[in-house]
Amino acid sequence: MKPSMLAKLDQLTERMEELNSLLMQENATADIDSYRRLTREHAELQPLVALYGDYRGAGADLQAAQQMLGDPEMKEFAQDEIGAARARMEALELDLQKMLLPKDPNDERNIFLEIRAGTGGDEAALFAGDLLRMYTRFAERQRWQVEMVSESPSELGGYKEVIVRVVGHGAYSKLKFESGGHRVQRVPATETQGRIHTSACTVAVMPEADEVGDVQINPADIRIDTFRASGAGGQHINKTDSAVRITHLPTGIVVECQDDRSQHKNKAQALSVLAARIKDVQLREQQSKEAATRKSLIGSGDRSERIRTYNFPQGRMTDHRINLTLYKLDFIMDGDLEELTSALAAEHQAELLAALGENMG
């Protein structure tokens, strides 16, 4: 193991001992915020320090076996032991490297998922509806909740634009690589000649901002307009101006929310989407800076980039960032995204490990 990595692990082991003594003190719970912070840090460090203990244990076994090599009777046994200890140390080192990788602070958060129809008119809007169904089915498999935030339906079904909130443990970690351009190739239902059309949608996955402190929105920077909600509703259509449009003047971000009959609820929902969008802009700026240095394709956060093609005639889906093609489009469109999300996460982890190796070199 590299000396820089060993030094880091020793330092974390010392910190763990320090935390143990801090948490053992009688007045540890006097400041409850500080106590929570310390227990969270302790919980994060514990598995890493325990694993490092195993690694050092395997190192001690290796040394003991090497000392037995001098004894002719024990030589064969010692060689077996040396091989086993080295293999354990290698496996543990890889696990330790993975645990040392920088954690994405947003991984456990809920998300706002935004799908917009791009080129392709009605066909793109229909595909936006298909993508929403795909993500909703995936969320159901994860036992997450999906709440409609705002929708702009198209004439033939589907959506010009739709925003949902996905509530569940690790929603962002599983879906964060879905942001970007999604292209579909298929014969539209309205096409009489059987010609394949290509249309596109953009998807944005944004971690939900914390209630407090995560994103500061200055009230002077926003303009709030109310208007009458449009769309289906028959005799129950609201006759009041309950729909809300919020414009964030410094960035020009506009959020509309008209899903609830209460203006108050629509405003609260729109503000939370606005906070997530501002946070998302900050995240993408940070990611593109990192991507420039790391040349990472997956996490570059570039919305204009085409990340995936869904080809219906051939029943295949291709993710262009990791050159993965899966011939099970029906299953994917029904929310079977596990193989895809795992492959993207594994590739991202490999990039991070390579970067960690360079930094610790």
pLDDT given at position 303: 58
Does 268 share its domain with 154?
yes
pLDDT in tens, 93-113: 988 988 888 778 788 889 999
Does 160 share its domain with 81?
no
pLDDT given at position 105: 79
Does 92 share its domain with 191?
no
Q: Which of 100, 122, 156 is the last residue of a domain?
A: 100
Whether 328 is covered by a domain: the verdict is yes
- Distance, in Å, from the CA atom of 351 to the CA atom of 113, rounded to the nearest integer, reads 25
Does 281 share its domain with 335?
yes
Residue 109 CB neighbour total at 10 angstroms: 24
Does 155 share its domain with 269?
yes
Does 285 share its domain with 185?
yes
Chain-centre distance of CA 46, in angstroms? Answer: 24
Q: Supply the angle between the helices 75-100 and 338-359 in degrees, to the nearest 10.
A: 100
Q: Which domain CATH number covers 263?
A: 3.30.70.1660
pLDDT given at position 299: 54
Domain of 73 in residue numbering reads as: 3-100
Does 152 share its domain with 86?
no
Tell which wins on pLDDT, 228 or 16: 16
- Distance, in Å, from the CA atom of 357 to the CA atom of 350, rounded to the nearest integer, reads 11
Q: Which domain CATH number covers 9?
A: 1.20.58
Does 11 share its domain with 85?
yes
Q: What is the pTM of this model?
A: 0.67
The strands making up 111-117's β-sheet, listed across from edge to edge, are 145-153, 159-167, 111-117, 197-207, 180-186, 306-311, 316-319, 324-326
- Distance, in Å, from the CA atom of 218 to the CA atom of 344, rounded to the nearest integer, reads 37
Structure-token match 């080809």, residue found: 311
Does 310 share its domain with 179?
yes
Region 208-216: mean pLDDT is 68
pLDDT given at position 233: 47
- Distance, in Å, from the CA atom of 253 to the CA atom of 199, rounded to the nearest integer, reads 25
Does 142 share its domain with 268?
yes
Q: Where are the alpha helices (DSSP H) in the chain?
A: 3-24, 32-68, 75-100, 121-141, 171-175, 263-294, 329-333, 338-359
Q: Which of 72, 100, 128 is the last residue of a domain?
A: 100
Residue type for 302, please?
A: D
Contact 232, 225 (CB under 8 A): no
Which has the closest alpha carbon to 164: 182, 181, 149, 180? Answer: 149
Region 84-100: mean pLDDT is 90
pLDDT in tens, 254-295: 888 887 778 888 888 888 888 888 888 877 777 666 555 555
**40 in helix, strand or coil?**
helix
Write down the mean pLDDT value for the chain.
86
